[in-house]
Structure 1
Amino acid sequence: MTVTEKTVSAAPSEPAAWAGRGLGWLRTQYPLLILLVLVVLAAVLSDAFLSTRNLENLVLQMSVIGIVALAQFIVVVSGGIDISVGSVLGLACVLSAGLFGGASTGLAVLVALGTGALLGAVNGFLVAFRGLEPFIVTLGMLALARGLVYAYTEGVPVRPADPAFTLVGTATVLGVPVLGVIWVAVALGMAFLLRRTVFGRRVYAVGSTPEAAHASGVPVRGTLLAVYVIAGLLVGLGGFLLASRVGAGTPTAGTLFELDAIAAVVIGGARLSGGQGRVFGAVVGTAIFGVITNLLVLLNVSTFLQDAFRGALILLAVALATIGRSPARRGR
């Protein structure tokens, strides 16, 4: 067979190769497929779903939890977990609205960011430098932060004095809520940080195998501390944005946000053992839960059944995440 004949005979295999790559990509993008199916289903089941007003509400509902999910995502990639994100967000929310009388929106942002960063640093120090389990550390922080929320508010919503406090949470840009724009900006920044910087590669290395990362010269403790501080900053930002959207710091702000954030990260394809996951997956996971919640509300489904639907979706996501893995990897 001549060289020309070999080239011609090999040509038909190229489309097959591209098709194989396409199928492989689809298998790794199952969260996106789930989201597309849900959007189509929601549009069919409810005429109000695609209305401008409902889509704006949907973006507003997803934005804050989306930012919290990104905070959870970087912690999970590093091999940890943070179940205190909801309570820390609640504390940042009420302090940003009430501290110093809520007379300045700029000061409120600093208070929220400082609160999140401080509590994140405490979590990071105990995990990185004291060797404590992230679950236990953040469980304690969950109780501490929520207790401080109730002690500060005494069960009563805190309303800021600055009339411009709600501007960020309610404004739109070309019909798109500012909260949504901030969420996308944070997601893009997180993606750049984790995929295009040395620090991001260190986070994945620490989450994959801390011992090997340490042997390679990666400052494991410093990296983990930075991860929890960054997560705290994002949670603090979410606390201010929630207060800005609602117009007050409520004692129940952030309740169960940790479950929603973990679920969004898991359904987005991240591995809870660390070292794997993409920011895009966390964003899609957040959107999936947002669409489901919105659709169930539009259909007047009981809140109890809403929790059941969300739980079933988490189980489905975990099951789908195992597709394509070898038995040896599934057994790890």
Structure 2
Amino acid sequence: MTVMITGGAGFIGSHICVELIQAGRKVVIFDNFCNSHPEVINRIRRITGTAPDAVRGDVRDVQALISALSAHGCSSVIHLAGLKSVADSVSNPAEYYDCNVVGTLRLSQAMQQTGVRNIVFSSSATVYGEPDVLPLREDHKLAPFSPYGRTKMLAEELLGDMAHSQSPLNVAILRYFNPVGCHESGLIGEDPNGIPNNLMPHISRVAIGQLPVLNIYGNDYPTSDGTGIRDYVHVVDLAAGHIAALDCVDRQRVLKVNLGTGQGTSVLELVDAYTRASGKMIPITFAPRRLGDIASYYASAELAADVLGWHAKRGIAEMCRDAWNWQRKNPNGYLDQ
């Protein structure tokens, strides 16, 4: 049976496609390509020997979803499609609620109408907000501080309600921490539009000479070196977590699991690791803290190990090595065809 991946041409989606195909699963990508590139499909074929089917469509278009689910005989969905910039969500909250919440509603309605019951949802650790205690466990209170985080929380709640409706869904909610790295081939990777919002692609573009300097926002946090600490997880490990979730999504009505390493890495530690991996110096400058930034943020990975049998296998050195491999082979991203 086929797995539909909404947003499957994106950074995380493309890596999930590779893992699923290599595990013998059939895949169909459903994507409007607003933040991705069709060249991804060719790159997936080069890695796996199989090109996934692809449907160009918007996740808010319920009829397009129904048509794709039916035509491809889908048995389950991995729902990644959505907008993800915290800063942009503050500037354009309506757009985020429309895409992330309404899109999830339309998808769940399409699944109910086509009898597709299993969904793995791409959520985010931003649903937790300011940590009361670390590491962050799945039973920590939810108090997101940005419209983006609130859309993820609302989408979680929506799917929870759908799981207990007259046409129930089986729901696995995966709360990502900080996905980085790329496939070891260097054929697929993170290719953001414009100046990157996330730290690793920003470092990569400084290393390749496309950006002059890395701005580090805050060096006075109560951490070992004054810079913020985050839980970085290799995107291939993250992709493997989705397969593990698919394999057990129908065992309980709603499952909520962190996907992280359980370890924190500071900004300066990440820069140092990237310097070693690339052999490039990374010019840095310190800037004031950004509103809403948090000192330390990392996962408890115990539930993922217990319920999914999953744990992250790759460390910071591998993440930086693979990110640099992608950047040096594709200095202009997917435009380097």
The answer, yes or no, to whether TM exceeds 0.5 is no
More helix by share: 1
Q: TM-score, normalized by length of structure 2?
A: 0.25
Q: TM-score, normalized by length of structure 1?
A: 0.26
More strand by share: 2
